[in-house]
């Protein structure tokens, strides 16, 4: 094995599982969070136009960059996402950095993580031989063709550490030197990323391809004077509308990478301030049908906006150009297709105010609020759909070839 202080990768062949049946882009138990979603988006914009994203790669690093051609964007897989975040957490909690787990992982880890177990050895480990990276992913109800890890927590730093890793050969194909770059640009058809506060970044590849026309979208940085809003589009024809709606103020997005049919669209926004603001991507396909991302709800620009740290809001932003009517209201309809606020558990929205739910024998009161170092392990063959489930999941270079499960 060739080890770098900044990168690590590997290879295996495995069968894949299907992604969850939740609405596209919505948070499921806090998965994915902003960092994980942003890594996903960075991967997709590079996949649809490798030449553009590799243009800035140092000349001595990406010697084989001309080998990469545009491929389909990756779709999110919840099981892979849960497995990836657990690995980020167990490395942080147990103080190590490697693909394989430091201990033998308990067989019910998918059930107890993260609610009852944070990844610490006291709850995640049992006696026995240390669990391999691929066996660990299988504990979350799926299998994987590849895994990449990086020490930076920031998604942009981690992503470009992977994408611009150095290589001394210009031949095409997967090698022990270009594994991170190769997997980002060629593996799939789905991905789950994992990274929490002060933890390493992890990406697990595998799953099955989706069909939704907006496979990913996010913003970077998380907050600031200037924020880039990115979304990928995939369809037989380009969109007839591409906008991002931030609290009712809508901005046109322009094709930046790839083609109109399979490309990454960008809007650069300024003057957003530091408060939490909801947004969603609002596209229309060539027939005029609306395509939203997330499919329901919205994401937040800002930090600490969602209680589950996902940056997801169940309430969409107001309609474009509409001024919400929320004077004196803490909840309920805002007149623009969204809500003035939501009520905490145990409270119901009545006449625009959150009031205590009565306990006089009526257990079902009506709520009138609106609803609203890096490492990689690479690509698989013959991915197949498996049973759906809601529970799914610096640097050194690790290579696994074909059916071998051990690094070389």
Classify 202 as helix, strand or coil: strand
Among the residues of 187-260, which ranges form H helices?
A: none
Mean pLDDT, rounded, of the chain? 85
Mean pLDDT of 150-166: 98
**DSSP letters spanning 261-272:** SEEEEEEEEE--
What integer pLDDT is reported at residue 398 of this predicted model?
37
Classify 29 as helix, strand or coil: coil
Please say if the pLDDT value at position 401 is more than 90: no
The set of residues, in sequence order, having a beta carbon less than 8 Å from that of 182 and lying 6+ positions away, is 9, 173, 174, 175, 376, 378, 379
- For the beta carbon of residue 139, count every other beta carbon within 10 angstroms: 21
Q: 146 and 12 in contact (C-beta within 8 Å)?
A: yes
Select from 171, 206, 200, 220 the least CA-distant residue to 7.
200
Model confidence band, residue 329 (pLDDT cutoffs 50, 70, 90) = confident
Higher pLDDT, 20 or 169: 169
Select from 163, 164, 187 the least CA-distant residue to 174.
187
H helix or E strand, kind and range, residue 83: helix 78-94
The set of residues, in sequence order, having a beta carbon less than 8 Å from that of 326 and lying 6+ positions away, is 334, 340, 341
d(CA 78, CA 338): 27
- For the beta carbon of residue 394, count every other beta carbon within 10 angstroms: 20
Please say if the pLDDT value at position 49 is more than 90: yes
Render pLDDT for 248-285 as a digit per residue (tens, 0 to 9).
Answer: 999 999 999 999 999 999 999 999 988 999 999 999 99
Model confidence band, residue 378 (pLDDT cutoffs 50, 70, 90) = low
Select from 24, 317, 316, 63 the least CA-distant residue to 177.
63
Residue with tokens 């026309």: 213
Model confidence band, residue 393 (pLDDT cutoffs 50, 70, 90) = very low
What integer pLDDT is reported at residue 35 of this predicted model?
98
What integer pLDDT is reported at residue 19 of this predicted model?
41
Cis peptide before 230 (omega within 30 of 0): no
Backbone angles phi, psi at 122, to 5 degrees: -60, -25
What integer pLDDT is reported at residue 14 of this predicted model?
35
Render pLDDT for 291-309 as a digit per residue (tens, 0 to 9).
Answer: 999 999 999 999 999 988 8
Please say if the pLDDT value at position 63 is more than 80: yes
H helix or E strand, kind and range, residue 130: none
Higher pLDDT, 137 or 400: 137
Bridge-based pairing of strands 312-313 and 249-252 is unpaired
DSSP state of 188: -
Task: Provide the percentage of residues in the chain whose pLDDT is more than 90.
Answer: 69
Mean pLDDT of 385-403: 35
Model confidence band, residue 367 (pLDDT cutoffs 50, 70, 90) = very low
What integer pLDDT is reported at residue 376 of this predicted model?
58
Residue with tokens 């959150």: 354
What integer pLDDT is reported at residue 394 of this predicted model?
36
Strand partners, 264: 232, 257
Q: 50 and 224 in contact (C-beta within 8 Å)?
A: no
Mean pLDDT of 102-118: 98
Render pLDDT for 8-39 as a digit per residue (tens, 0 to 9).
Answer: 655 443 333 334 468 999 999 999 999 999 99
């Amino acid at each position: 094995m060739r080890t770098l202080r900044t990168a690590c990768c590997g290879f295996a062949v495995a069968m894949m599982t299907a992604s969850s049946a939740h609405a596209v882009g919505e948070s499921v138990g806090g998965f994915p969070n902003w960092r994980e979603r942003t890594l996903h988006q960075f991967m997709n914009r590079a996949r649809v136009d490798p030449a553009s994203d590799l243009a800035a790669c140092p000349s001595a690093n990406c010697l084989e960059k001309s080998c990469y051609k545009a491929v389909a964007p990756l779709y999110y897989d919840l099981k892979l996402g849960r497995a990836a975040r657990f690995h980020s957490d167990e490395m942080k909690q147990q103080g190590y950095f490697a693909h394989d787990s430091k201990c033998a992982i308990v067989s019910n880890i998918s059930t107890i993580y993260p609610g009852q177990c944070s990844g610490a050895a006291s709850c995640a480990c049992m006696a026995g031989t240390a669990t391999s990276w691929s066996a660990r992913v299988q504990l979350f109800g799926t299998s994987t063709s590849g895994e990449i890890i990086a020490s930076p927590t920031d998604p942009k730093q981690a992503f470009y550490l992977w994408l611009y890793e150095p290589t001394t050969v210009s031949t095409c194909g997967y090698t022990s030197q270009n594994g991170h770059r190769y997997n980002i640009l060629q593996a799939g058809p789905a991905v789950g990323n994992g990274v929490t506060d002060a933890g390493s970044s992890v990406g697990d590849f595998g799953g099955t391809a989706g069909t939704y026309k907006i496979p990913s979208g996010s913003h970077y940085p998380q907050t600031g004077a200037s924020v880039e809003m990115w979304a990928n589009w995939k369809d037989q024809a380009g969109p007839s509308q591409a906008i991002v709606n931030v609290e009712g103020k809508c901005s046109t997005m322009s094709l930046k990478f790839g083609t109109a049919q399979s490309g990454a669209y960008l809007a650069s926004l300024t003057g957003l301030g530091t408060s939490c603001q909801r947004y969603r991507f609002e596209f229309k396909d060539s027939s005029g049908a609306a395509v939203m991302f997330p499919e329901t709800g919205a994401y937040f620009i800002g930090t600490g906006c969602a209680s589950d740290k996902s940056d997801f809001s169940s309430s969409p932003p107001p309609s474009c150009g509409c001024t919400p009517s929320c004077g004196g209201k803490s909840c309920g309809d805002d007149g623009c297709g969204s809500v003035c606020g939501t009520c905490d558990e145990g409270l119901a929205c009545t006449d625009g105010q959150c009031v205590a739910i009565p306990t006089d024998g009526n257990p079902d009161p009506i709520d009138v609020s609106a609803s609203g170092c890096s490492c990689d392990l690479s690509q698989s063959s013959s991915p197949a759909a498996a049973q759906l489930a809601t529970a799914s999941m610096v640097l050194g270079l690790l290579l696994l070839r074909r059916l071998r499960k051990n690094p070389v």
